[in-house]
Chain A
């Protein structure tokens, strides 16, 4: 009796294996299956905050501008724009385009979307992206009215934007998901529910959403109403919603996926050997933040000593498998200087060097020869294998090079954020990614009293240079001021840079034409599948 059961069970298992079969991508179908992350929190452009969501939305919507692979801002929904001589008024001229339901996209949709983003009741985290616009911050904080916001549709194809002060990078803000247009009629008729239903979630981009199976997949097909549809060769995009990147990698290796974003660090060495990994630049920095208001890190010499005693090359080679780039400045790689067309970082070069002798000397000058007399020091990071490996390497370097014993402490992500914000730490692991493609997204971070400046770094000379860069549209002047500010930040060692992020991913070699700009928001518009 029991034997029969076992045999039956075995037969069932075998049948199952026979039934299995996973279809791959072929040039005939022109379908791409992408992993960027898990279930989106929302697909409402006004409320998107995460990178995966930004990617999903980029395929469905089109902003006034977009970012090309070099990080330069190029026309998208707007064909061109004029800037007034004082740099305060931008006039965007829209292309003739339609929503995926066939209705025309007008400047009024943009005006509506932007005012909705700023409306206090929308409670949008990224409302601050539009704070350069006149009256925007006042309206968002309940101090001004919607009529005073400097956004106006002059006619169906012309959008006029008035700014508070010259903001040279404003066109790159217009590529951010928060500034995408939304269809006024649909949103007004459906309220917040519009973004939860495939039927009402319509966009103006190259693809339209046809299926959203929660925690499973988003399916998008080519949008026949899109103005540039002749250039779109791809028929279908499937975003597979997977929470665990290791799972996504298994799926890639089983031909269930064509693209996997940021595969696990532990697999990188193997993937590199198997030629499965690709790299692109991205504007982000990984650094250690000093609490500059607490001894001993209130002393720039101590900060410099600790920063110079880190062997970044060794960390990059041994811990990061040469994926990222050692960084010796505040502003990372990835930004393009619009005047010289060169990478801002390469232009500025390394602003200090790793140097153990110098570090020891500085520590002695600060009154702590060989680390004697230093209070106990704790290095804080959020719980994560990669952060731990880096922290342990640096702990070892500080011990060996400076003779300083540092304790490591890890905290769960949201607890960690709270600790950093309250300033109750000495050195903390941190990272920063660009909101828009201009070095100012890093520059204004270290301003005295800056909202994200948790280390409370402050230097009037730095503030002045950033103010200069913020007051003109003359890119040559701006870039020079930001280079100078960067030098000051590193002379003071406001933070200890560790590495500049790279964007690394696995891509099926059949997939051609993927554009991966330094914002990490992929452009799928030009993809073709070639056998």
Chain B
């Protein structure tokens, strides 16, 4: 277990280094820089700006300077948002993205799992058909379509909820559900098929033969085992929700980090591009690692590192 974890950490460091280096090179390879403006600046003014942000240093020096600062967890100043550092930006905006993401993850589990269970238990009845119809829609309709429809209906037509911003509970409802649409549907379908699979197993028949109450069978024996694939899915889903909230954040004017991930590239805000990429890469690598480490706790048949331990 320990040696496996160490190996994974070492692996993660190499992956992160590769991500940083490739991003650094790619981002300097795109034409245009952070201070490319429509108005052509007098050469002296441009020189002043480049000197200030050390953009006139050779590329290898910019790279090594960046790596040295990175070891001190200093991601540098933003070029676009003057006077703010990338650490500030991530520190202020990630908690918002995290909050939004957690809302969506909770929603998708709270709604998705029961929906899947009902579907499996009422297989081929109207409940199942309705849920499968809705989840097919949920998987197929992109979040921005859902979001736009929500804004139009609930904010503009019915005037029940705010159309955008992030100032309290009522502001969170529409974006959280819009972002949760896909994962909720996916979880419901996954739970259903997994549930059906488990319900056909011999130990369920045994339990029934023993005369256990139906809800005990369902809850203690069936659901617990049926949820393993769902838990597996939650890791990548969490990463996907946390890094993929760009569209929802933009549509609902939510001050999260997802937006910076995309706009920093248009702005050629080099330090923000790198900082956010590193942060997200770290997040994905870490979440995947956590899920891999949790597996054996859920399913004793899975062993880490390929050998038996203990």
Contacts and interface: CB of A to CB of B under 8 A. Distances in A.
B74 interface: no
Contacts of B169: 16, 19
Contacts of B281: none
A419 B170 CA distance: 46
A121 B48 contact: yes
B197 interface: no
Interface in B105-128: 107, 110-111, 113-115, 117-118
B160 A192 contact: no
Nearest to B263: A243
Interface in A412-451: 412-415, 417-419, 421, 431, 451
A9 B110 contact: yes
B247 to A, nearest CB: 10
Contact of B32 (A127, A140, A195, A418): A418
Contacts of B92: 214
A39 interface: yes
Interface in A4-31: 5-6, 8-9, 13, 16-17, 19-22
B1 interface: no
B170 A19 contact: yes
Interface in B221-259: 250-253, 255, 259
Contacts of B114: 1-3, 5-6
Contacts of B160: 17, 20
Contacts of B251: 244, 246-247
Interface in A150-195: 192-193, 195
Contact of A414 (B48, B80, B266): B266
Interface in B81-123: 81-84, 89, 92-93, 107, 110-111, 113-115, 117-118
A452 interface: yes
B165 A216 contact: yes
B227 to A, nearest CB: 13
A455 to B, nearest CB: 13
A249 to B, nearest CB: 9
A125 B163 contact: no
Interface stretch (A83-91, A226-234, A250-258, A501-509): A250-258
A20 B36 contact: no
A214 B215 contact: no
Given A2-B118, A255-B159, 6 more contacts: A122-B48, A196-B83, A253-B163, A413-B32, A414-B36, A418-B36
A386 B161 CA distance: 31
A247 B170 contact: no
B307 interface: no
Interface stretch (A41-49, A74-82, A202-210, A298-306): A41-49
B159 A418 contact: no
B42, B83, B111, B266: residue with the most chain A Cβ atoms closer than 10 Å: B83
Contacts of A121: 48, 52
Interface string B25-36: 000001111011
A255 B36 CA distance: 37
A393 interface: no
Nearest to A214: B92
26 contacts: A5-B110, A5-B114, A8-B110, A19-B169, A41-B82, A120-B44, A121-B48, A125-B39, A125-B41, A128-B45, A140-B44, A192-B82, A193-B83, A195-B82, A196-B83, A242-B164, A243-B253, A244-B251, A244-B253, A250-B156, A251-B162, A254-B156, A254-B159, A414-B30, A414-B266, A417-B37
B189 interface: no
A240 interface: yes
B44 A141 contact: yes
A254 B218 CA distance: 46
A123 B51 contact: yes
A250 B255 CA distance: 17
B301 to A, nearest CB: 27
Contact of A6 (B41, B80, B115, B155): B115
Nearest to B38: A417
B164 A128 contact: no
Contacts of B159: 22, 254-255
A215 interface: yes
B253 A240 contact: yes
Contact of B162 (A22, A123, A215, A451): A22
B215 A1 contact: yes
Contacts of A251: 162-165, 253
A39 B80 CA distance: 10
Contact of A140 (B35, B45, B93): B45
B144 to A, nearest CB: 11
A213 interface: yes
A124 B47 CA distance: 11
A19 B170 CA distance: 6
A294 to B, nearest CB: 19
B219 interface: yes
A425 to B, nearest CB: 14
Contacts of B39: 125, 451-452
Nearest to A414: B32
A451 to B, nearest CB: 4
Contacts of B38: 417, 431
Contacts of B173: 13, 16-17, 20
B117 A2 contact: yes
Contacts of B48: 120-124, 127, 140
A171 B216 CA distance: 84
Interface in A41-69: 41-42, 44, 47, 49
B151 interface: yes
B40 A256 contact: no
Contact of B40 (A216, A250, A421, A431): A421
A22 B156 CA distance: 12
A423 B117 CA distance: 64
A326 B192 CA distance: 61
Interface in B56-83: 80-83
A17 B174 CA distance: 10
Given A1-B219, A215-B93, A20 B156 contact: no
A125 B45 contact: yes
Given A44-B82, A214-B92, A16 B31 contact: no
A321 to B, nearest CB: 21
A372 B160 CA distance: 62
A142 interface: yes
A3, A140, A243: residue with the most chain B Cβ atoms closer than 10 Å: A243
A16 B32 contact: no
B41, B107, B164: residue with the most chain A Cβ atoms closer than 10 Å: B164
Contacts of A9: 107, 110-111
B40 A452 contact: yes
A332 to B, nearest CB: 16
Contacts of A253: 155-156, 163
B110 A213 contact: no
Contacts of B33: 414
B166 interface: yes
B9 interface: no
Contacts of B42: 128, 131, 137, 140-141, 451
The 10 closest A-B CB pairs, nearest first, are A414-B32, A141-B44, A215-B255, A2-B114, A196-B83, A20-B170, A250-B163, A42-B82, A254-B163, A123-B52
